[in-house]
Amino acid sequence: MARIRPTAPAPEPLPPVPDRSLTPEGTLPTMIVGASGYRAYVYRKMVDGPQGAASPNLGDLVRVIDREGQHVGFALWNGRSRIALRFVSRAAQPPDLAFWSARIERATALRSKLLRLDEITNAYRVIHAEGDGLPGLVVDRYDDVLSVEIFSLGIYQRIGPILELCAGQLGTRHFRVGVDERVALQEDFAGRPLVSPGLPPRVTIHEHGVRYRIPFDGSHKTGFFCDQRDNRREIARYCEGRSVLDVCAYTGGFGLNALVRGKASDVTCVDLDEKAVVILKENANANNVRLTAVHADAFGYMRQMGINERVFGVVVLDPSKLIADREEVAPGKRKYFDLNVLAMKLVEPGGLLLSCSCSGLLPPTEFLGLLRAAADKAGRRAQLLALAGAAGDHPVALDAPEGSYLKAAWLRIDDRL
């Protein structure tokens, strides 16, 4: 008698991709603002209200004027968000499909023609929100996949045609779209994750001759941290023959560069995310190198290394964002301070500490002051060699300076004389 195999359940249909038109129809609602200046957005408390009887719907493109009736620009509206208006254009005419296409073309030209990133990598940021004049939208390219983060209801409603324009410029075939839970609460909308049919579960990228495997399930942010590209390249200069500790290593970007390109004597990578540690090991195998991968809390591991009197020639400290909003500023600064005290104690005399912060609410001057205090607490002398930021595919708009979030302090650590 033949065995009857159970029928596999049919896969759930993919949710439809929002496809609101990029060309506005009819007369746009007009919103009055008390003061806008040249900021990329307007807070809800600065909006006086609509002009006339027509009130905008959530996500609408609106014309913005000041109290004197002067034209300010065109913005996406969300009256439920603390940021009620996100400017798309300051021109006299409303943005249409040709406008959006030209803006995306300008963004891709920066990466391909000016930065010439395609010559060194197949992974880079394509659109950096306000920095590319597309507020609320982050798009990273990983080979044939566009990985997207959305921070605005208006952008989410239009993501279908936006991705079509991006794919047309870049020749990519797949996409994945995510909305962080915190953002969904702030913007007050349920942003469902979206994926293209046949999206591969992972891709392999290369950067400066180093290979990385990018799995999309459970990955942080868009899957990889392209902002540290230049700093990953630079770390190799300091590693030859040295022992390297990569703390909060995620999938091993700094540690792998220390080994593959920097010829470090040995590398230890530490991360609390168990999945990241698994990928880190896979990345080491993909590059035919051996490193020590440790699944541990950064605080506990560095304390134990201090007790063991272990030191390293190079230490990289690149924690995740420790200050996500203003309520977290004080506790976040304390965590940065404690981490750096522990890290500085582990650097051999004359060695290097690369200390990073991706918290935009921590200004560079305060970060450097925090590092100065940490050196004093650790009993070390620290010399600042350079203060770097994100790679060039993360441009900063001068009307949105908070886009300059990443700080990478290159420090020579020595004993105090």
Over residues 336-349, the pLDDT tens digits come to: 999 999 999 999 99
pLDDT score recorded for residue 189 = 82
Residue 390 reports pLDDT greater than 80? yes
Non-local CB neighbours of 68 within 8 Å, separated by 6+ positions:
none
More confident residue, 11 or 89: 89
Band (400; pLDDT cuts 50, 70, 90): confident
Percent of the chain whose pLDDT exceeds 70: 95
Separation between Cα atoms, residue 399 and residue 381, nearest integer Å: 37
The pTM score is 0.92
What would the mean pLDDT of 375-403 be, rounded to a whole number? 95
Residue 401 reports pLDDT greater than 50? yes
Q: Are 140 and 125 in contact (CB under 8 A)?
A: yes
Residue 364 reports pLDDT greater than 90? yes
Domain definitions of the chain by residue range: 30-89, 97-195, 202-415
Residue 9 reports pLDDT greater than 60? no
Instruction: Return the structure tokens found at 246.
Output: 């990569």
Band (223; pLDDT cuts 50, 70, 90): confident
pLDDT score recorded for residue 324 = 86
pLDDT score recorded for residue 2 = 47
Identify the weakest region by mean pLDDT among 38-42, 251-255, 338-342: 38-42
pLDDT score recorded for residue 227 = 95
The end-to-end CA distance of the chain, in Å, is 87
Instruction: Return the structure tokens found at 269.
Output: 């990578």
Residue 36 reports pLDDT greater than 90? no
Percent of the chain whose pLDDT exceeds 90: 83
More confident residue, 227 or 35: 227
What would the mean pLDDT of 79-96 be, rounded to a whole number? 94
Given this chain, do its domains 30-89 and 202-415 carry the same CATH topology? no
What would the mean pLDDT of 373-386 be, rounded to a whole number? 98
pLDDT score recorded for residue 220 = 66
Mean pLDDT score of the chain, rounded to an integer?
92
Over residues 265-313, the pLDDT tens digits come to: 999 999 999 999 999 999 999 999 999 999 999 999 999 999 999 999 9
Return the sign of the alpha-carbon dihedral for residues 225, 231, 234, 235: negative
pLDDT score recorded for residue 95 = 97
Band (37; pLDDT cuts 50, 70, 90): low
Just give the CATH number of 202-415. Answer: 3.40.50.150
Over residues 179-188, the pLDDT tens digits come to: 888 888 888 8
CATH class of 30-89: mainly beta
pLDDT score recorded for residue 1 = 44
Residue 162 reports pLDDT greater than 90? yes
CATH class of 97-195: alpha beta
pLDDT score recorded for residue 187 = 85
Please report, for residues 116, 165, 168, the alpha-carbon distance to residue 121 in angstroms, rounded to integers and kept in the order given.
Answer: 9, 22, 19
Please report, for residues 102, 160, 321, 357, 363, the alpha-carbon distance to residue 370 in angstroms, rounded to integers and kept in the order given.
Answer: 43, 43, 16, 11, 11
Please report, for residues 27, 49, 279, the alpha-carbon distance to residue 54 in angstroms, rounded to integers and kept in the order given.
Answer: 10, 10, 53
